[in-house]
């Protein structure tokens, strides 16, 4: 049985938001955290005390999981300038499953 990728993201986000994340949700968020690091997202974004040399370029990601829905995050990660035309964020070269994991991670940032 094939599960629609957006449904998987929503299940993970709901599980994370109510604090009862199943093992697969935690695994997806952990994979997303690794993708975040590998893509060097911190170069332009700020997260907690961590910030890269171009941190003013991207937004502060503290609490982004409370501010944006998983669907919004996914759409933005797929094509930032389509969601926010003035966005300076480049379109990432990520596979759909990688975007889902990144969404799970960002959604966990409450």
Whether pTM > 0.85 for this model: the answer is no
The per-residue pLDDT for range 38-95, each reduced to its tens digit, is 999 999 999 999 988 887 788 899 999 999 999 999 999 999 999 999 999 999 899 9
First to last CA, the chain: 32
Count CB neighbours of 79 within 10 A.
13
Residue 102's pLDDT band, with cuts at 50, 70 and 90, is very high
Question: For the domain that residue 18 is a member of, what is the CATH number?
Answer: 1.10.760.10
Q: Supply the range of the domain harboring residue 39.
A: 5-108
Q: What's the domain count of the chain?
A: 1
Please give the sequence-ordered ranges of beta strands (E in DSSP) within 37-81, or none if there are none. 46-47, 50-51
């Amino acid at each position: 049985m094939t599960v629609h990728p957006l449904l998987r993201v929503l299940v993970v986000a709901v599980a994370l938001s109510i604090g009862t994340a199943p093992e697969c949700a935690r695994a997806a968020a952990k994979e997303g955290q690794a993708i975040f690091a590998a893509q060097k997202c911190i170069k332009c974004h700020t997260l907690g005390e961590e910030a890269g040399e171009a941190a003013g370029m991207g937004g502060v990601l503290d609490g982004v999981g409370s501010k944006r829905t998983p669907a919004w995050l996914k759409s933005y990660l797929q094509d930032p300038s389509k969601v926010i035309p003035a966005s300076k964020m480049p379109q990432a070269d990520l596979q759909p499953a990688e975007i889902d994991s990144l969404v799970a991670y960002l959604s966990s940032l409450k």
